[in-house]
Amino acid sequence: MRIEEFDALDAEAAAEVLRPCVAIGSWVDALVAGRPYDDAAALHAAAAAQAATWTDAEVERALADHPRIGERHQGAGTSAAMSRSEQAGVPQDADVQARLADGNRRYEERFDRIYLVRAAGRSADEMLVLLEERLANDDATERAVTRGQLAEIAVLRLQGAVT
């Protein structure tokens, strides 16, 4: 949809466009309230800036809408379709799947949440290297990295939804 169309929507319809990008109500509310935008780039910049305000609790809740890397989102709706598309490039061969499953397990044991990484545009090997690097992070650093990855995913999804 074009930015002019987005700006012309009523508040609830605009929120419906934004919710599949990330399940954080404060982000959706702020972007809806910020309309109209001069152009799509202004919306995308506002989205990135608003993501910097997310709390740890908001990020944790939003992770519930994301499958593990290497797994397909089993839900329905726009967010699930976006997730499946983002992970479409992850090879389904047994070796890659076993390495991802092991890495996901170790990450979850270490940080007690799923390993979230922007999959769009990344190879499985690249995501595995990042996973290994992130396993060495302390908790505070990893929370910040996870927030950043979630923000990248949200803004990329928004860029696909509103041009």
Confidence (pLDDT) at 80: 47
Q: How far is CA 62 from CA 114, 116, 118, 120, 122, in A?
A: 11, 11, 14, 18, 21
C-alpha 53/C-alpha 22 separation (Å) is: 14
Query: DSSP label at 67?
Result: P
C-alpha 4/C-alpha 115 separation (Å) is: 36
Confidence (pLDDT) at 69: 80
Kindly give the confidence (pLDDT) of every residue in the chain, 163 residues in length, as a single tens digit, with 9 standing for 90 and above: 999 999 999 999 999 999 999 999 999 999 999 999 999 999 999 999 999 999 999 999 999 888 888 766 555 556 545 554 555 456 567 888 898 899 999 999 999 999 999 988 888 889 899 999 999 999 999 999 999 999 999 999 999 999 9
The helix/strand/coil state of 35 is coil
CB 115 within 8 A of CB 107: yes
C-alpha 157/C-alpha 143 separation (Å) is: 21
Q: How far is CA 161 from CA 5, 25, 132, 154, in A?
A: 11, 18, 32, 10
Q: What is the pTM of this model?
A: 0.87
Confidence (pLDDT) at 111: 97
Confidence (pLDDT) at 97: 84
Architecture of 3-161 per CATH? Orthogonal Bundle (1.10)
